[in-house]
């Protein structure tokens, strides 16, 4: 039996926008309110993707370097979210070029949960941040925390073994359970650690817009779905459509 794994397409910035960029747009403001980064700060945006958080930081007065391993995402960031206070650069966030204590803050949103060597990345974030600075991240809550994704994954898990393995693997990643990040932060040596739940809503224009998140996106859900036969994928779509149109959890086009 093939083991489930997280698989991602890191090349296409437009696919990223369809898949997770829309969530990042809603998350940036409440995340920055929690992080409490002062205007004028020098900030590192780790795995910056298409630049949503970098742009929000720059507009709040920070001087930002956004680093990502995907040249495609960086091209999208420069095209969509350029700003005089932002420098986007290609790099490996596990081994960053910056001097120790270089930044006032190191941040990341909706990225650490898809990087296998997360402890190494967080240790690097700590290293490059000055004493008394801020290290902060937001990750998805894999254990029932994203109804928009859970509807597809749970439906698929009932119908297909591959989705059942994917669901079990996601649920088993204890780092993304409540207090999981805080535990890692303390292990790395960070102090004054606070973990705060943040709930954001995301709207879809239609079921077609919602479903495209999973057929065209870069994530492991997409790769699992698109590896199925047309009949199997069609069956999942039929059942997901029924659940979507029931209006779960708030109305047909609105998910927390």
Q: Specify the CATH number for the domain of residue 88.
A: 3.40.50.150
Residue 142 pLDDT exceeds 80: no
Q: Note the pLDDT of residue 190.
A: 94
Between CA 122 and CA 103 the distance in angstroms is 14
Kindly state whether residue 51 falls inside one of the protein's structural domains.
Answer: yes
Label residue 211 by pLDDT band (50, 70, 90).
Answer: very high
Kindly state whether residue 207 falls inside one of the protein's structural domains.
Answer: yes
High-pLDDT (> 90) share of the chain, %: 52
Label residue 22 by pLDDT band (50, 70, 90).
Answer: confident
Q: Note the pLDDT of residue 252.
A: 53
Kindly state whether residue 227 falls inside one of the protein's structural domains.
Answer: yes
Label residue 4 by pLDDT band (50, 70, 90).
Answer: very low
Kindly state whether residue 8 falls inside one of the protein's structural domains.
Answer: no
Q: What is the pLDDT of residues 92-139, one digit of tens each?
A: 999 999 999 999 999 999 888 778 788 999 999 999 999 999 999 998
Instruction: Characterize 134-148 residue by residue with b for buried, 16 or more Cβ atoms within 10 angstroms of its Cβ, and e for exposed.
Output: bbbbbbbbbbebbeb
Contact indicator for 121, 98 with CB cutoff of 8 Å: no
Kindly state whether residue 104 falls inside one of the protein's structural domains.
Answer: yes
Kindly state whether residue 7 falls inside one of the protein's structural domains.
Answer: no
Between CA 27 and CA 97 the distance in angstroms is 28
Backbone angles phi, psi at 141, to 5 degrees: -90, 100
Q: Note the pLDDT of residue 213.
A: 85
Label residue 248 by pLDDT band (50, 70, 90).
Answer: low
Contact indicator for 69, 92 with CB cutoff of 8 Å: yes
Contact indicator for 180, 174 with CB cutoff of 8 Å: yes
Backbone angles phi, psi at 109, to 5 degrees: -130, 135
Between CA 207 and CA 148 the distance in angstroms is 11
Residue 146 pLDDT exceeds 80: no
Kindly state whether residue 55 falls inside one of the protein's structural domains.
Answer: yes
Backbone angles phi, psi at 15, to 5 degrees: -65, -40
Lowest-confidence region among 4-18, 41-55, 91-105, 121-135: 4-18
Q: Note the pLDDT of residue 170.
A: 73
Between CA 48 and CA 102 the distance in angstroms is 18
Q: Note the pLDDT of residue 2.
A: 33
Q: Give the residue, 127 or 213, on which the prediction is more confident.
A: 127
Q: How many domains does the chain have?
A: 1
Q: Note the pLDDT of residue 124.
A: 98
Fill in the DSSP letter of residue 66: E
Kindly state whether residue 2 falls inside one of the protein's structural domains.
Answer: no
Reported pTM: 0.83
What's the rounded mean pLDDT across residues 152-173? 82
Label residue 144 by pLDDT band (50, 70, 90).
Answer: low
Q: Note the pLDDT of residue 37.
A: 97
Structural domain of residue 76, as residue ranges?
13-255
């Amino acid at each position: 039996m093939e083991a489930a794994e997280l698989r991602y397409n890191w090349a296409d910035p437009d696919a990223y926008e369809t898949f997770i960029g829309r969530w990042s747009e809603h998350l940036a403001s409440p995340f920055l309110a929690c992080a409490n980064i002062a205007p004028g700060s020098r900030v590192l945006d780790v795995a910056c993707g298409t630049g949503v958080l970098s742009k929000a930081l720059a507009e709040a007065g920070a001087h930002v370097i956004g680093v990502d391993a995907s040249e495609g995402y960086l091209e999208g960031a420069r095209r969509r979210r350029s700003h005089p206070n932002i420098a986007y650069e290609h790099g490996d966030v596990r081994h960053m070029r910056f001097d120790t204590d270089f930044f006032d803050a190191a941040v990341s949103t909706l990225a650490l949960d898809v990087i296998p060597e997360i402890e190494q990345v967080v240790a690097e974030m700590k290293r490059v941040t000055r004493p008394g600075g801020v290290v902060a991240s937001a990750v998805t809550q894999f254990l029932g925390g994203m109804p928009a994704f859970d509807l597809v994954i749970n439906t698929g898990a009932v119908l297909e073994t591959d989705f059942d393995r994917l669901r079990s693997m996601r649920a088993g990643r204890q780092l993304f359970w409540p207090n999981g990040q805080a535990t890692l932060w303390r292990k790395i040596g960070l102090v004054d650690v606070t973990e705060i739940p943040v709930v954001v809503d995301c709207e879809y224009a239609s079921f077609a817009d919602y479903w495209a998140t999973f057929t065209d996106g870069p994530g492991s859900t997409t790769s699992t779905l698109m590896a199925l036969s047309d009949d199997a994928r069609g069956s999942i779509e039929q059942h997901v459509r029924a659940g979507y149109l029931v209006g779960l959890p708030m109305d047909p086009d609105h998910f927390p």
